[in-house]
Amino acid sequence: MKDKIVPLKLDLRVNNTVIRDQFLWDVSNFESDPEEFARIFGKDLNIGDPEVGPAIAVSIREQLYEIAVQSISSVREARVGKKGRRGTE
């Protein structure tokens, strides 16, 4: 499977911690784990609040879900478009 790299953005406020960042995510790599990413992200930035990691993971999962939904919608639209063109030939 070909790599599919997408930009993800974090814009969160959890208690007294504000996170604003963006990074690239390979959606074709099923071993990428939002919880693991959030844990390492928090550790790298010395974030002590235990609620920040789960909030980051949820934000990543929500964005990945939206990307998946959009991808499925575009595939469906392409298939419908092809069927429509065949009928007119």
Domain membership of residue 13 (yes or no) is: yes
Surface-to-core class of residue 10, CB atoms within 10 Å of its CB (0-12 exposed, 13-18 middle, 19+ buried):
middle
Give per-residue pLDDT as tens, 2-15: 778 999 999 999 99
Q: How far apart are CA 30 and CA 45, in angstroms?
A: 25
32-50-52 Cα angle (round to 5): 60
Residue 52, domain member (yes or no): yes
Residue 86 lies in a domain: no
The tally of domains found in the chain comes to 1
Structural domain containing residue 40: 5-76
CB 14 within 8 A of CB 52: yes
Q: Please check whether residue 33 lies inside any domain of the structure.
A: yes
The answer to whether residue 87 scores a pLDDT higher than 80 is no
**Which pLDDT band, with edges at 50, 70 and 90, does 65 fall under?**
very high
- Is residue 29 included in any domain, yes or no? yes
